[in-house]
Each structure stands twice: as C-alpha cells, then as structure tokens.
Amino acid sequence: MTHVHVIARDNGAGLSRDLAILARVLGQTEFEVTISAIGAGGLRRSATLWRRRAQLLWRGWRSGTARARFDVNLMDERIRPDHLKLARRNVLMPHPEWFAEQDRPHLPAIDCVFAKTRHAVPIFEALGCRARFIGFTSLDRHLPEVPREPCFFHLGGRSPNKGTQAILDAWLRAPHWPKLTFIQRAPLKLPAQLPANLRHVTAYLDDDELRRMQNQHAFHLCPSETEGFGHHLVEGLSVGAVLLATDAPPMNEMVTREHGVLVPAARSGTQRLATTHFVEPEAIAAGVERLLALTTAQREQLAVRARTWWLDNDRAFGERLRTAIENLAAE
C-alpha cells in the first residue's frame, strides 16, 4: 500500500484549508495517509488517518534508526528539508507568489512539482523542476437552503492581494449600487463614515456564519492581483455565486466567461515568482454594471454553471492527484 505523508503549515487560513482538503481527497483513495500540521514553532501536531504516526518516524530518523518510511512526501507551499529523507519521493505543491528563496537550493531534492494551476507549470520548469499540472479544489460551501439575495460579497480576509481597495473606490463613487459586504483586515483607505451600501466586517466570524454569508450573496467580487490557487474564488463557485474576477492567469483558469464576468488588468508587477495584475476601479465599475444588467434567468444560469464547474473540478482533481501519486511511487 502506498503511504503518503502530507506536510503543511496549519496557519488558520488558506494552508489550513489545504490540509483539510488533502485529508478529504486522499481519504477517498486506497492510500495510507499521514497528515503533519506544522505551526510557527515547528511540528505541532500530526494526525494519522490509518496506522502510523509521523512523530514516531521523526524520532526514529533523529536517532538514525529509521529508513524512508513514506513512499511520497507531499509538501504544500514550502519545502521541509528535515522531512526530505523520510520518503522515497518528494513532491512540492507550491504557490509561486509565496515561494521562499531559502527553498530554492532544495529544489533538486524535489522529484516532481504538482502544480495547482497551469500557470505555475512553466514557472517551475524554468527553475529546472519536473512539473505536472494537478490542479486543486476547495471546500464545498454550498448551502442550497439559504435564500439568495442580489447583493455583493467580497472576502479579502487578511490578504493584501485581493483587489479590495479598487472595489471600494468603485463603490464609493456609486451610492446607487446594492449593498456590498466586504471582509478585509488588511489596511485600507476608507472615509470616516461609510455610505449605506457598504458594510465592512472586521470582527471575527465563526465558520457557520461565514458560510451563510457566502451562500446569501448572489455576486462575489474577486479581482485578485495574484493567486497560488484561489480558495475564495473556488469556494464562491462551489456555492453557485456569480463571480467577477481578473482576466489574467491563474484567476481566469478558475473563473471563465462561461460562468462569470472577467475584467481586464490595467498594469502588472511581480511578487516573488508570480506576476501580479492590478484592476482599476473603472474596470470594476464596468464589471459590476454587467452583473446588474443580468436578468434573473441569466443569473441563475451562470450560478448553475459555476456549481457544475466546481463539481467537475473537484472530481477531476481527485483523479489527477491519485494517478500522479501512483505513478511517482512506482518509479
């Protein structure tokens, strides 16, 4: 039986979601799976889904008595040098915009990069890596019993890369637009008094309330500058929301004109290995007007297509990941 060891930070945000997703998807396979969650101070906890515990393997390795006990290490975002010899094969699932320079010397130890986006494949091939598109998925946030309202939602979280300021600048010029609820804890330029059609959520929301809000709002605004994958985009698709997104890779891999509205970027930059794409308020405004012009039937059709995309992508990711691991373990 192939034994897969998943290693990632448990950061209470996107990487924690990655851990939950990989545990779910791999738990549906015949693999034996160990999940190691790493906190800021090092190894914090490990959960063995079947038989073995990563902590025991780690102690054995430190004492010099352990062999490579895993068939495949699956490392999310960062390379963990201390874990490389615990497995016969090592895989990195990177986010180009957060690739750490201290990981570059360890790339030769990586047997394959499992790219979450097609956009990431040539980036890591250029660094001499063997790279394969695997894709990724999100948590399923769908609650069909929650009534939909023709209002807008933006989930910025703590990230400065979600295009939040451009959204707000557009909204401040359009007091006639419907209400926008936005969740953003990064610094913003805001007036002392927000207009009635803007609601800024800074307080902690439990997951049930956040999920309800995701389902409640018919339109999600996601003009990201860059994404390693884009949980907030793909979770929006899972609930059948109609998304506005940046027409640049990799965002337009997830959100297409078949099920969403794409807006052009005005300029670009870089963040580590990624290219950043900046959308201006004028493009946001034009996209919002397109959303507002949709009939109820058109909006519902886009919502069905969004949900269908999520279901198809979720299934395809599980199949690609299983096949890629099997092939690598057989080498």
Residue-by-residue DSSP string for 6-25: EEEE--SSHHHHHHHHHHHH
Which residues make beta-bridge pairs with 275? 270
Task: Work out the number of other CB atoms within 10 angstroms of the CB of residue 13.
Answer: 13
Q: C-alpha angle 72/73/74, rounded to 5°?
A: 110
pLDDT of residue 40: 56
Which residues make beta-bridge pairs with 33? 4
pLDDT of residue 144: 97
Which class in CATH covers the domain with range 149-313? alpha beta
Longest dimension (CA), the chain: 69
R_g over Cα of the chain: 21
CA atoms within 13 A on the CB side of 215: 15
Of the candidates 229, 304, 227, the residue with the CA atom closest to the CA atom of residue 259: 304
Specify the CATH architecture of the domain 3-137+315-329. 3-Layer(aba) Sandwich (3.40)
Low-confidence stretches of the chain (pLDDT beneath 70): 40-67
pLDDT of residue 47: 44
**For residues 209 and 279, what is the distance between their CA atoms, to the nearest angstrom?**
29
**For residues 252 and 227, what is the distance between their CA atoms, to the nearest angstrom?**
10
Domain-wise residue ranges, the chain: 3-137+315-329, 149-313
Give how far Cα 244 sits from Cα of 93, 234, 289, Å: 26, 12, 11
pLDDT of residue 68: 78
Q: What region does 135 belong to: left with phi over 0, alpha with psi -120 to 50, or beta?
A: left
pLDDT of residue 67: 62
Please say whether the beta carbons of 221 and 165 come within 8 A. Answer: no
